[in-house]
Amino acid sequence: MDELHYQYNLLRAKNQTLESTERMYRSICNTSTNAFLYYSFTDNKLFTMGAWESYFDIRIDSIKNLASLTEFVQDKYQLALREILYLEQTKMERASKEVCLLNGKKWVECEVNISYDEKQRPIEKIIRFKDITKFKKQNDELSYLAYYDILTGLYNRNYFVRILADWLRKAETDKSVVSVVFIDIDDFRKINDGLGLIVGDELVQVFGQFLGTFSQENVIVSHFNSDIYCMAIYDPCGNRTVDAIYHEIQSRLQKPFLLSTRHELDITVSVGVAEYPEAAKSALELINCAEIVMFKSKAGGKNGLTYFDTPILNDFLKNIEIENKLKEALFANQFELNFQPQYDSSSGRLRGVEALIRWKDHMGKSVSPSDFIPIAEKNGTIVPIGNWVIDEAIRILAEVKRKYRIDFVMSINISAIQYKRDEFVGDLIAILRKYDVNPNEIELEITETVLIDDFKLVKDKMHTLREYGVKVSLDDFGTGFSSLSYLKGLPIDTLKIDKTFVDTVIVDESTRIIMESIIHMAKRLGYDTVAEGVETKEQYDYLKSIGCDTIQGFYLSKPMSVEAFEQLLSEMIH
């Protein structure tokens, strides 16, 4: 009897433990946001637990009803759900699928676990349904950012390059052509600076949306950054050739873009085109070639289309090489000055010399000023280079004057960037004082580009220089569009007539008329005249006959080193 009582109490305690465990697990299931489906193969019983109603508006109480769950998911996911529901047939213990419910707004992860006995017969199955909508949305956003530009909705740069690389491999097999079109909005910085970044961003967006209308099976469009876009065309033909698309772009740009800020913006674009396999064989090289010719289009006046060719690439690579070398040239003392004499046309006496910069790189190779000066003006190195030229020219002037006691004028070319610096006049005067040079012996040669941006400021600086005694010469006169308009009230001493007039003055009557008019006008205004580039006796005799004051050119003397110039001065005093 005691034994029976003991067994009863033991069984009762086990039941209480089981009931407690069941309550705990049910509590866990009921407080979970997941839904659970439990099926016992042994007892053929099925239970649903957890947040079942938030997933399926149906009660499942039999294995026969499982198939009805597929009616709650989109058609293309029904097979995946069936695999989970009837997984015991595949003899797998665990599997997981993602399905989307009918409303398209909720994504559900379905995970199944099955246990088997020692004979591999299924004992029980548990299916968990988990809401992964938030995770799926975040993942979709990350996927979108991986492929698309968030501002314009176009492909981003990385994905564009990936597709282009695939296209090039396909084109190699098909023996086809792929065109890459690099597009840049002209003067975009002025829009950003003048109207603000918000207006600039919206313009980038609406223009990008317009370019996106060209997208089709064989045309892809991307937004690279800022105001730069890139388009690729596989096997261009018909209405999807570069010229056809460019014509449509130009037609659209005839009308302004109306923004939400009520701004109406008229824009132009510069376009560069490079084609596989002619220009390059890889995606990045092809894009680089298209970008290079786009910059060539900008340099040619903007609002144009330029196709890649080998000389353009060679020029670009040459400029890059010069730019890299230029940064070290000043510190490595690779520059030197040559001097080209200027002679009075009447007396033949030395009037002065023009200081000309020369550069030999570390390999001893000469680099032409026409090649490196424009690059120096773009990257800003023209300022330290120009300062060195002024200091060196005035130093040499002071040195040779002490040696030979001959009066002459040192002409020094001044860059527009250098001249416009606030400290230019003060620095020049400081150098003159440092070497104890008479300001009357210095002539600054400036071009019309100096006068374009702020005529009053430039004129005021000229007055200051003139008052101090420094001469001012207007260089390359006659090549600008409005040189005559600048002469009125301009405090200059000399007009330097451009070489292009001298080249044709003997053979072209129109040039002679212009030349004689310039000389006559200059005399009436009280200016001296210098003709540069005089290479023949005929040119010299003609210029002398019409009253040109000073002659400079190969006919009388080529540019010479400082040693050769000192030899010239030595011969003059003996």
CB-CB contact of 276 with 166 (8 Å): no
The predicted-structure confidence for 449-459, as pLDDT tens digits, reads as follows 777 667 778 88
Q: 326-572: what fold?
A: TIM Barrel (3.20.20)
- Looking at CATH, the fold of the domain delimited by 148-308 is given as Alpha-Beta Plaits (3.30.70)
Which DSSP string do the residues of 225-276 spell out, in sequence order? ETTEEEEEEES--GGGSHHHHHHHHHHHTTSPEEPTTS-EE---EEEEEEEE
**Domain boundaries in the chain?**
23-137, 148-308, 326-572
pLDDT digits (tens, 9 = 90+) for 162-199: 999 999 999 999 999 999 999 999 999 989 888 888 89
Once rounded to an integer, what is the mean pLDDT over residues 392-415?
94
- pLDDT tens per residue, range 262-295: 889 999 999 999 999 998 889 999 999 999 899 8
User: 528-531 and 494-497: which strand pairing?
Assistant: parallel
pLDDT at 482: 47
pLDDT in tens, 518-571: 899 889 888 999 999 999 999 999 999 999 999 999 999 999 999 999 999 998
Percent of the chain with pLDDT over 90: 47
Tell me which residue has tokens 């956003």: 141
The C-alpha atoms of residue 295 and residue 427 are separated, in whole angstroms, by: 35
DSSP state of 115: E
With cut-offs at 50, 70 and 90, classify the pLDDT of residue 9.
low
End-to-end CA separation in angstroms for the chain: 150
What is the structure's pLDDT at 385?
A: 92
Q: Is the torsion defined by CA of 49, 53, 56, 58 positive or negative? A: positive
Mean pLDDT of 327-332: 82
Per-residue pLDDT, averaged over 314-333, amounts to 81
- Given 3-state DSSP classes, what are the helix, strand and coil percentages for the chain, each rounded to the nearest 5? 50, 25, 30
Largest Cα span, the chain: 151
Residues found in the chain: 574
With beta carbons less than 8 A apart as the criterion, state whether 366 and 357 touch.
no
With a cut of 90, say whether residue 355 has pLDDT above it.
yes
Q: Which pLDDT tens digit goes with each residue over 297-307?
A: 888 788 999 99
Rounded distance between C-alpha atoms, residue 491 and residue 488, angstroms: 9
Backbone angles phi, psi at 130, to 5 degrees: -120, 135
Q: Decide the pairing of beta strands 350-360 and 366-367.
A: antiparallel
Q: Looking at residue 21, what is its pLDDT?
A: 57
In the structure, what pLDDT confidence band is assigned to residue 331 with cuts at 50, 70 and 90? confident
> Which one of 130-134, 353-357, 471-475 scores highest in mean pLDDT?
353-357
Q: What is the pLDDT of residues 197-239, one digit of tens each?
A: 889 999 999 999 999 999 998 999 999 988 999 999 999 988 8
326-572 and 148-308 share a CATH fold: no
What sign results for the dihedral spanned by CA atoms 338, 342, 343, 349?
negative
DSSP tag of 148: B
Tell me the CATH class for 23-137: alpha beta
Strand 409-413 versus strand 350-360 pairing type: parallel
Q: What is the mean pLDDT of residues 501-521?
A: 91
pLDDT score for 416: 86
pLDDT score, position 169: 94
Which conformational region is residue 440 in: left (phi greater than 0), alpha (psi within -120 to 50 degrees), or beta?
A: alpha
Task: Give the per-residue pLDDT at 374.
Answer: 86
Flag whether pLDDT at 481 surpasses 60. no
Instruction: Tell me how far apart the alpha carbons of residues 45 and 43 are, in angstroms, rounded to a whole number.
Output: 5
Cα–Cα distances (Å) from 37 to 46, 99, 181, 399, in that order, read 7, 16, 57, 102
Kindly state the DSSP code that residue 554 receives in the 8-state scheme: T
* Tokens 């110039």 sit on residue: 565
Rounded CA-CA distance 181/178 in Å is 10
Model confidence, pTM = 0.63
Q: Which residues lie closer than 8 Å to 135 by C-beta, 6 or more apart?
A: 107
pLDDT at 122: 85
Tell me the pLDDT of the chain averaged across its residues: 86
Mean of pLDDT values over 315-320: 78
What are 45-88's pLDDT values in tens digits? Answer: 888 888 888 888 888 878 778 888 888 888 888 888 888 887 76
